[in-house]
Amino acid sequence: MKRIIFLSSTVVVILISIVFYFVAFGVPIHDIRMWMLKRAYSRVEHPRESVILADATYLGGPATHGSRRCNYVVGEVRSASLSKQKIREAYGLISLSGAFLKTSLPLTVLFFDDEWPNELPWFAWESDFALFEARSDTPYIVYGTQKNIPFLGDRRCDD
């Protein structure tokens, strides 16, 4: 009898701990998938002439509230003394793939005078990274993204 009470109380403690973890830190599968995307992105070869200005990562929803979808975005703000065309060509045929990604994930290059997507994180990034726009070389953001992943109750995806 004591053993049954001990086991049932242990199960209750474990379940409460799991629920607390999900509420406090989010659903771990999203963290794992974000880590896999970062790992795939780390293998990207950038033009030699480019320099990194800032990291750009995002795990969250595409809207400010109620989308029930998750987006993962990993990239960098970079700058190069190359033309926009040369920069696009450098990334044009590159896609992220690996053992953990089931499909290849194309990279996207955005310049500061391009029209940026009107959803998170891009409309926030556009103002966050505006200070790089005044550079004399060509600043740009290069990123890979996985969009519209089910949010699984993760509050981070329901901004």
Asked if residue 78 belongs to a domain, the reply is yes
State the total domains in the chain: 1
pLDDT reported for residue 151: 81
Domain, as residue range, for 65 = 27-157
Answer whether residue 3 is part of any domain. Answer: no
| Residue 145 · residue 72 · CB < 8 Å | yes
Domain assignment of residue 49, yes or no: yes
Assigned domain for 5 exists: no
pTM of the model: 0.76
pLDDT of residue 111: 92
Residue-level pLDDT at 40: 87
Nearest by Cα to 37 from 25, 46, 29: 29
In angstroms, rounded to a whole number, what is the distance separating the alpha carbons of residues 94 and 108? 9
In a domain, 43, yes or no: yes
pLDDT of residue 44: 87
Q: What is the mean pLDDT of each run of 10 residues along the chain (159 residues)?
A: 69 67 69 89 90 92 78 93 91 61 74 87 86 88 89 77
At 27 the pLDDT is 80
**Is residue 9 included in any domain, yes or no?**
no
What's the confidence (pLDDT) of residue 22? 58
